[in-house]
């Protein structure tokens, strides 16, 4: 299959490029974090309310914070080479375990939000393109502008007010019913109920982007000659849109979606805070406040990996969507 | 025999212009009708009107396009869809952009068969391979899975032809099918079209600005200028004895028809001015560029007259070039 060959070639190129990228990200982040005032010992001492210079020095030497910066970097890279993300002084546990606890929550939240955003965005964008310049297009344009400009924390709060407080349909926070001991399908349904509001608040901003992008992209493709050919074959307008316009219009959307995966992690910080969702975003936020740089570095490393994987996925999707891309 | 397609007084109107006015012609089964004219004469819009694929802004305020029993201007969207691709098919000028770049050519051919003949995917693919063979594409079993970018312009136009003839249409509209192709490929593609026309007994509307094409392949020629038919004749009559001053100008500006002509022998003649001058012209649209124009030409649009059997011309002052020396008809 030439399609598989194309995809394989794309994948190999992406993987080879990923290694230096990740190394660069780790080193750059490490130095950036050194610029922040204070360290974990300062925060812990501050929270304890009283600390002597000796106890702080002891803390620092225990976590290796008293070493010169380059030595600390060397230690960190050495750890990484042994596939360890280091130890969190604040949580008192290995960073890898800490992240492993929180990663699934964030990944499901992001994936759900992205799927909602793309599906809804493409459907709405197609509608807008079909009715371009007429009432449905105008109305949807207003809504997409609204969602584009409203900050996600406010949407989150309003959704809670409406669906949790007024209507009482959906839980206002958390990731599952505590102590419910459900298994199998009921457990998944229970989780899904908790997922609806946070995923929606995270998705709405992106729905607006994809809807507008789909609209523009479809209107552009619509005027191309091969669309006229498709009509000349006697296809229905729906057939032409689904089989000829949409696939060509999807290419810029996948590009944007890939770029958004990194950005979504940032959005997740806010949404996870609003919905007390136990995810990576909140962990990152807490790590910054606690100057817990090992945890933060671990999260940054992981999110850069995520972005690289997302980019590879986009490359693969492109190679599949557009046969001309693999031919380079 | 009733005509396969009969166009009566077709007018195409845009909000600010009427690019086609009171155009009438007819075409019989198995016949090739050439519509000739320069860019902007309305010939491509006429083709799109036959397919009912005009841009949204365009209207057909009057006129009839009778195809068999049906008037295409009155047919609803569904009825028209059933005709498109099955009874009336069209190939376009730009083979480079007329195929979907993300779909294999096999699937693009199969699509039209699935829509109209309700073939299964497998059967449609088999037919697509046969059709590729029919349009003389080498190794069709392999080529069927190629994407358009893997094919040359001439091959792509063959694929377009395969799509167009897939359901054995009664009428094929070819809108400048060879304009974008190399000269060596042009003749091959036109030969192919002509062969298929005979094999499938299709009527062909060949839209072109290339008079060489007309001479070789047409059974009947309509010359258009600024949205109007200015002359209609059999090709031999047209080339031997052009009647309308515009047709004479066109022939004089065409190098291929004089076999011994070489560019060193002198410059080709040209028709002065441009078709834009027809805009807002109250009388004969060709008057600003015509070397035989008289005062009365500005009064009203000349009616088509019948100077001889099988001929029509929209100029009251024209006489056979046998009487008027040919060189005098050429403008400088």
Could you state, in order of their start, the residue ranges of all structural domains in chain A? 96-289
Residues B172 and B156 in one domain: yes
Residues B218 and B256 in one domain: no
Q: Which of B36, B4, B2 is nearest to B232 (CA)?
A: B36
Q: Which of A233, A322, A323 sits opposite B163 (nearest CB)?
A: A233
CATH of residue B54: 3.40.50.300
The nearest alpha carbon in chain A to B48 belongs to: A232
Residue B206: pLDDT band with limits 50, 70, 90: very high
Chain B interface disruption, residue of A226, A235, A240, A320, most B CBs within 10 A: A226
Q: Which of A234, A244, A321 sits opposite B100 (nearest CB)?
A: A244
Q: Fill in the DSSP letter of residue B99.
A: S
- B244 — contact with chain A (CB < 8 Å)? no
Residue A310: pLDDT band with limits 50, 70, 90: confident
3-state secondary structure (DSSP) of residue B133 = helix
- Strand B312-313 relative to strand B228-233, pairing: antiparallel
Q: Enumerate the β-bridge partners of residue B26.
A: B6
Say whether B53 and A232 touch across the interface (CB within 8 A). yes
**Which range marks the domain in which residue B294 is found?**
226-329
Say whether B86 and A224 touch across the interface (CB within 8 A). no
Span B119-140, pLDDT tens digits: 898 999 999 999 999 888 899 9
Residues B219 and B233 in one domain: no
Distances from the Cα of A46 to the Cα of B22, B244, B268, angstroms: 91, 100, 95
Say which CATH class A96-289 falls into: mainly alpha
Residues B186 and B54 in one domain: yes
List the beta strands (DSSP E) in chain A: 87-88, 93-94
Q: Enumerate the β-bridge partners of residue B205.
A: B33, B173
Contact present, B114 and A236 (Cβ < 8 Å): no
Domain boundary among B181, B196, B224: B224
3-state secondary structure (DSSP) of residue A187 = helix
Span B74-102, pLDDT tens digits: 888 888 888 898 899 999 888 888 999 88
Span B251-267, pLDDT tens digits: 888 775 556 666 666 67
Question: What number is the average pLDDT over the span B149-158?
Answer: 89
Q: Please state the ipTM of this predicted complex.
A: 0.84
> What is the model's pLDDT at position A327?
47
Q: Enumerate the β-bridge partners of residue B13.
A: B59
Residue B33: pLDDT band with limits 50, 70, 90: very high
Residue A26: pLDDT band with limits 50, 70, 90: confident
Contacts with A324 from chain B: Cβ below 8 Å: 101, 147, 149
Measured between alpha carbons, how far is B313 from B332 in angstroms, rounded to an integer? 23
Residues B50 and B175 in one domain: yes
Chain B interface disruption, residue of A229, A252, A325, most B CBs within 10 A: A229
Please check the confidence at residue B1 and state whether its pLDDT lies above 60: no
Contacts with A236 from chain B: Cβ below 8 Å: 81
Task: Please give the tally of structural domains in chain B.
Answer: 2
Please check the confidence at residue A117 and state whether its pLDDT lies above 80: yes
Output the DSSP codes for B121-150.
HHHHHHHHHHHHHHTT-SSHHHHTT--GGG
0.95 exceeded by pTM = no
Measured between alpha carbons, how far is B160 from B181 in angstroms, rounded to an integer? 13
Q: Which of A23, A33, A45 is nearest to A69 (CA)?
A: A33
Chain B interface disruption, residue of A131, A234, A245, A253, most B CBs within 10 A: A234
Question: What number is the average pLDDT over the span A31-45?
Answer: 77
Contacts with A239 from chain B: Cβ below 8 Å: 115
Q: Which of B177, B129, B127 is nearest to B154 (CA)?
A: B177
Q: Which of A226, A234, A248 sits opposite B82 (nearest CB)?
A: A234
Give chain A's mean pLDDT. 82
Domain boundary among B207, B224, B241: B224
Question: What number is the average pLDDT over the span A34-41?
Answer: 76
Please check the confidence at residue B8 and state whether its pLDDT lies above 70: yes
Span A177-213, pLDDT tens digits: 666 676 777 777 777 788 888 888 888 888 998 999 9
> What is the model's pLDDT at position B108?
92
Q: Enumerate the β-bridge partners of residue B171.
A: B88, B203
Residues B219 and B270 in one domain: no
Residues B231 and B216 in one domain: no
Q: C-alpha angle A96/A98/A102, rounded to 5°? A: 110
Q: Enumerate the β-bridge partners of residue A31.
A: none
Give chain B's mean pLDDT. 85
Residues B171 and B283 in one domain: no
Q: DSSP alpha helices (H): ranges in B201-244?
A: 211-217, 235-240
- A322 — contact with chain B (CB < 8 Å)? yes
Measured between alpha carbons, how far is A52 from A40 in angstroms, rounded to an integer? 15
- A224 — contact with chain B (CB < 8 Å)? yes
- A247 — contact with chain B (CB < 8 Å)? yes
Question: What number is the average pLDDT over the span B206-225?
Answer: 87
Residues B44 and B127 in one domain: yes
> What is the model's pLDDT at position B332?
37
Please check the confidence at residue B328 and state whether its pLDDT lies above 50: no
Say whether B98 and A226 touch across the interface (CB within 8 A). yes
Residues B196 and B250 in one domain: no
Please check the confidence at residue B112 and state whether its pLDDT lies above 60: yes
Percentage of chain A exceeding pLDDT 70: 95
> What is the model's pLDDT at position B256?
58
Residues B198 and B295 in one domain: no
Residues B219 and B230 in one domain: no
Domain boundary among B224, B243, B271: B224
Measured between alpha carbons, how far is B287 from B316 in angstroms, rounded to an integer? 12
How close A205 comes to chain B (CA, Å)?
30
Task: Check residues A248 and A182 and name the one with the higher pLDDT.
Answer: A248
> What is the model's pLDDT at position A4?
74
Question: What number is the average pLDDT over the span A216-244?
Answer: 89
Percentage of chain B exceeding pLDDT 70: 92
> What is the model's pLDDT at position B180?
78
Query: Where does residue B11 rank: exposed (0-12), middle (13-18), buried (19+ CB within 10 A)?
Result: middle
Q: Which of residues 90-109 of B touch A (CB under 8 A)?
A: 90, 92, 94, 97-103
């Amino acid at each position: 299959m030439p399609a598989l060959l194309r995809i394989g070639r794309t994948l190999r190129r992406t993987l080879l490029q990923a290694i230096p990228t990740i190394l660069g990200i780790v080193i750059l982040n490490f130095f950036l974090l050194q610029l922040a005032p204070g360290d974990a010992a300062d925060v812990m001492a501050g929270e304890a309310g009283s600390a002597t210079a000796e106890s702080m020095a002891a803390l620092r030497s225990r976590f290796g914070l008293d070493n010169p910066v380059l030595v600390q970097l060397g230690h960190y890279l050495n750890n990484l080479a042994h596939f360890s993300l280091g130890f969190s002084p604040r949580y008192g546990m290995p960073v890898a375990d800490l992240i492993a606890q929180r990663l699934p929550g964030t990944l499901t939240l992001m994936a759900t939000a992205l799927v909602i955003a793309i599906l809804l965005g493409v459907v709405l964008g197609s509608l807008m393109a079909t009715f371009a310049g007429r009432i449905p297009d105008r109305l949807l344009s207003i809504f997409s502008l609204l969602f584009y400009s409203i900050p996600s924390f406010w949407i989150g709060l309003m959704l809670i007010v409406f669906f949790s407080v007024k209507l009482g349909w959906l839980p206002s926070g958390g990731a599952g019913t505590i102590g419910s001991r459900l298994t199998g399908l009921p457990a998944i349904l229970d989780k899904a109920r908790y997922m609806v509001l946070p995923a929606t608040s995270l998705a709405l901003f992106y729905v607006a982007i994809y809807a507008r992008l789909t609209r523009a992209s479809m209107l552009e493709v619509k005027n191309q000659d091969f669309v006229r050919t498709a009509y000349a074959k006697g296809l229905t307008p729906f057939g032409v849109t689904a089989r000829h316009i949409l696939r060509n219009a999807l290419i810029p959307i996948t590009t944007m979606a890939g770029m958004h995966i990194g950005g979504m992690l940032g959005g997740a910080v806010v949404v996870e805070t609003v919905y007390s969702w136990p995810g990576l975003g909140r962990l990152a936020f807490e790590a910054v406040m606690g100057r817990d740089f090992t945890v933060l570095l671990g999260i940054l490393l992981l999110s850069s990996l995520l972005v690289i994987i997302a980019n590879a996925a986009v490359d693969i999707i492109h190679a599949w969507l557009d046969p001309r891309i693999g031919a380079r | 025999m009733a005509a396969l397609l009969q166009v009566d007084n077709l007018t195409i109107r845009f909000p600010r212009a009427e690019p086609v006015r009171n155009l009438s012609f007819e075409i019989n089964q198995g016949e090739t009708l050439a519509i000739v004219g320069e860019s902007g004469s309305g010939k491509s819009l006429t083709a799109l009107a036959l397919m009912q694929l005009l841009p949204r802004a365009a209207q057909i305020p009057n006129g009839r396009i009778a195809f068999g029993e049906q008037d295409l201007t009155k047919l609803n969207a569904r009825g028209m869809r059933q005709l498109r691709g099955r009874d009336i098919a069209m190939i376009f000028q730009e083979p480079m952009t007329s195929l979907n770049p993300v779909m294999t050519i096999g699937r693009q051919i199969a699509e039209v068969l699935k829509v109209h003949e309700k073939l299964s995917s497998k059967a449609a693919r088999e037919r697509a391979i046969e059709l590729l063979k029919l349009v003389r594409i080498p190794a069709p079993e392999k080529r069927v899975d190629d994407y358009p970018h893997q094919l040359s312009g001439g091959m792509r136009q063959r694929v377009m032809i395969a799509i167009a003839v897939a359901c054995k249409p009664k009428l094929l509209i070819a809108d400048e099918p060879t304009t974008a192709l190399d000269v060596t490929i042009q003749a091959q593609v036109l030969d192919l079209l002509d062969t298929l026309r005979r094999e499938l007994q299709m009527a062909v509307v060949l839209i072109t600005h290339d008079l060489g094409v007309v001479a070789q392949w047409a059974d009947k020629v309509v010359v258009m200028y600024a949205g109007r038919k200015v002359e209609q004749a059999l090709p031999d009559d047209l080339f031997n004895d052009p009647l309308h001053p515009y047709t004479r100008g066109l022939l004089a500006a065409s190098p291929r028809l004089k076999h011994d002509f070489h560019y060193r022998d002198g410059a080709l003649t040209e028709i002065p001015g441009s078709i834009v001058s027809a805009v807002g012209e109250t009388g004969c649209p060709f008057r600003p560029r015509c070397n035989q124009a008289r005062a009365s030409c500005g009064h009203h649009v000349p009616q088509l007259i019948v100077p001889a059997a099988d001929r029509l011309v929209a100029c009251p002052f024209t006489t056979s070039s046998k009487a008027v020396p040919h060189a005098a008809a050429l403008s400088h």
